[in-house]
Each structure stands twice: as structure tokens, then as C-alpha cells.
Amino acid sequence: MEPLERYRPLIDDFEAFIAACERPLPSAVRVNTIKATPAQVERAFDDADIGYETADWAEGIYRLETSSPGTLWPSVHGWIHGQEEVSSLPAKVLDPQPGERVWDAAAAPGSKATQLSALMDDRGLVVANDNNLGRLSALRFNAERLGVTNMAVTNQDARNFSLKRFGEGGTDDRRVDAFDRALVDAPCSCEGTIRKNPDTFDEWSLGHVESVAGIQQGILRRAVQATRPGGRVVYSTCTFAPEENERVLDQVLDKEDCRIIEQDIPLEHASGVTEFEDEEFDPSVEKAARIYPHHNDTGGFFCATLEVGQ
């Protein structure tokens, strides 16, 4: 837990934060509304004598009294999907609508991409991209199991994602306006997953934090470029590092035509930080949300919403 000490000045109750990080993470699932309703899933839990608790901030999210939700028959049949509770937040904040075109820039293994499809009633288009070809098999498996039909799967480096195949771009492939919304749940140092991955800090280094921040900035810039004027982009990570969160937002605000806007976060959270160590960030990063494990008994998370310039 030593790397977390650097965040002591940012966290309201650091001792409670560390204590939460040391506890195992509750097992959680979300209802896949393409195939089932929350009422149907609850009856299935009751019939199978599976203990569950409804999340008080979102319908269709449950904490289960089992450590293996993927072995349950509602999961096998695609009624539910095992997904860490706070991990379902970015798609809900993005709020995609049926019929829209949505890009998930780093989609594998597909939890958030398939959630986007469900929120869209499986209508419109979700372009689920990942640069790791090996992970795409899991994405395709999950999409098939959950009954998703509005998804196109691509294998590109999101920083240089080409949209010409979608009939956009012309001779200038930088500003293409191909999507109504985009989700950048960026690859990160994963500090917020310590509760389910106790070895997270075994190979942690500040150098890795700095290197992955450059990748995050490139992906987020491309997402802004690929989204139509007035469209929205949600940026999220499962890390606490301001270098990967507020600094990335600050740099993208400086280079792209976008602004951070207020977002509806139905979980207890802290605001984004405007300074850390010897750095200061754009004041608007305060509109981002920092979710710490001791706030809601979840993993750690960061989430911000950007609106693309008109």
C-alpha cells in the first residue's frame, strides 16, 4: 500500500481509505436488459437461493453472496454480467441513446461496450475497439452471450483510429465527427483495483504512471476529434493518480476544442483536484469525480464528462 501514501493530502479520511483498500471487493453483477429485466433476474436469484443486495444508486446492479457469479445459470444464459459495481458508472454517465453512433475506444473484454448496447436498446451502432487482438476474443464472446447485435468490433491503436471505413473523414482524417458519443475507459496503472488484485503494487512505479498517461492523452484527444460538435466524451480510469486523471484532462483541454461539464454522479464522491505536488490544473477539472473505496465500499474510480466544441 506504500504507493498510496502519496495521495494522503487528497483524501478526506486516509485511514478509512486504506482500511477499505485492504478489504476484499464485494461480488457484483448488472442485469443485461437486452435479455432480461431486473424482476426476472431477482426471481432467478430467489429460485436458486442466491443472496443478493440491490445497489441503492442504480437499478439492475446487485451485490451477490457468491464469489463466482459467472457460474450461475443467469450468467451463462446472458441475463446478467459480472461487473464491478463502480465500473458500470461511465456508461451510465455517457447516457447513449437508441439509434446513436457510439465509440468505445478501449473496449475489451467488453463489460462497458455491452452495457452501452443495452442502454441503447441494442439499436444504433457501438464501435468496440481494442488494440489487443488477444482480448478481442473475450469481447466477442461476451457480446454473443449477452445477445448484442448492434456492435462492430475493431482492432486498432485508438490514438490513430481511422474512421474512413465508416464513411467519414474526406481528405482530413483528424476532425471526422463520426460519433455522437465516445467512451474512453483508458488503460491505466489500475491502483483502484487493489481490492480485487492484491498484487497491483508489486510492480508499480511512477515511471509507469507517467508513461501510460501519454497513451491516455492520445486516446482521449482522438475521441474528441472523432465526436461531433456538441457530442459528449466520458473519460474514466480505475486509478487515483492525478497524472493519469486531472493532468490528462488539462492537457487535452489545451489541445482540443472541448470543455468539461457537470455530470450526474449518483455515488458519494470527491471532486477532481486542481493541484497536486508541484502541478496546477485547469480549474474545470474540479467537475470530475473521484470515487474512493471507503465512500461506497467499491473499487477506486475517476470519471469526467467532456462536451465537444460547436
Find out whether 61 and 26 touch, Cβ atoms under 8 Å.
no
* Residue 174 CB coordination number (10 Å): 9
Residue among 298, 300, 310 nearest 56 (CA): 298
Q: For residue 310, give every residue at least 6 positions away whose Cβ sits within 8 Å of its Cβ, in sequence order, or none.
A: 229, 230
And the C-alpha cell for 246?
486531472
Instruction: Assign residue 99 a region (left: φ > 0; alpha: ψ between -120 and 50; beta: otherwise).
Output: left
Please give the backbone phi and psi of residue 261, each rounded to the nearest 5 degrees, phi first.
-120, 165
How far apart (Å, rounded) are the C-alpha atoms in residues 106 and 113?
A: 9
Residues annotated as part of the active site? 238
Q: 271 near 290, Cβ under 8 Å?
A: yes
